[in-house]
């Protein structure tokens, strides 16, 4: 909310990816007036899936114990997800690794804790009169796609799935993701 106020003009289209979707949702629930629309990009209705909660707890423990070895933790994560890692393009792998190494462990610890305990606030968000889009890849392990489908229905939101992508369609297929966002935003602009 402070960032949108700092822009000095509005309303703005708000996009929140993953944890950012949960944060964006909280902002809209606090004050929807600065926003023209809300897009939840690969973000779900509540805490991440149970299997991912267990993995995230392990990651939080590793960060608490070995946060000074971010390259080592990165290598262990990629080895644990070797099949998924092998599918990433070299450019995406480089981007993800550099982003990981540039993030302080404390931020990742707090993020992990939030992702495993976030309550479901979809019904509350559904009562906010704001155009909404739920956009995701075709596969998502944090929030399974059927869960995001159901969330979109509960919200009365437009639903877009970017084929051939997973949790980060914005990085995996930026052109298709950008086109979906632009189409949604164009549909929300007053004539």
Sorted by where each begins, the domain ranges of the chain are 2-46+119-188, 50-114
Asked if pLDDT for residue 85 goes beyond 60, the answer is: no
CA 119 → CA 46, 65, 168, distances in Å? 5, 27, 23
The pTM for the full model equals 0.87
90 versus 121: which is more confidently predicted? 121
Asked if pLDDT for residue 2 goes beyond 60, the answer is: yes
Summarised one tens digit per residue, pLDDT across range 52-71 is 999 899 999 999 998 899 99
Q: How confident is the model at residue 175 (pLDDT cuts 50, 70, 90)?
A: very high
CATH class of 2-46+119-188: alpha beta
């Amino acid at each position: 909310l402070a960032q949108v106020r700092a822009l000095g003009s509005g309303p703005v289209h708000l996009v929140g990816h993953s944890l950012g979707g949960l944060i964006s949702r909280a902002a809209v629930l606090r004050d929807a007036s600065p926003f023209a629309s809300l897009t939840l990009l690969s973000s779900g209705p509540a805490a991440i899936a149970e299997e991912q909660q267990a993995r995230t707890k392990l990651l939080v423990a590793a960060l608490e114990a070995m946060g000074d070895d971010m390259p080592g933790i990165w290598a262990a994560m990629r080895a644990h997800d070797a099949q998924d890692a092998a599918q990433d393009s070299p450019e995406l792998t480089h981007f993800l690794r550099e982003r990981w190494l540039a993030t302080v462990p404390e931020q990742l610890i707090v993020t992990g804790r939030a992702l495993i305990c976030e309550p479901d606030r979809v019904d509350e968000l559904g009562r906010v009169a704001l155009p909404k889009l739920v956009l995701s890849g075709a596969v998502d392990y944090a929030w399974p796609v059927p869960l995001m489908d159901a969330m979109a229905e509960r919200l009365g939101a437009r639903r877009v799935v970017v084929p051939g992508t997973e949790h980060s369609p914005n990085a995996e297929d930026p052109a298709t993701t950008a086109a979906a966002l632009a189409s949604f935003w164009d549909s929300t602009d007053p004539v």
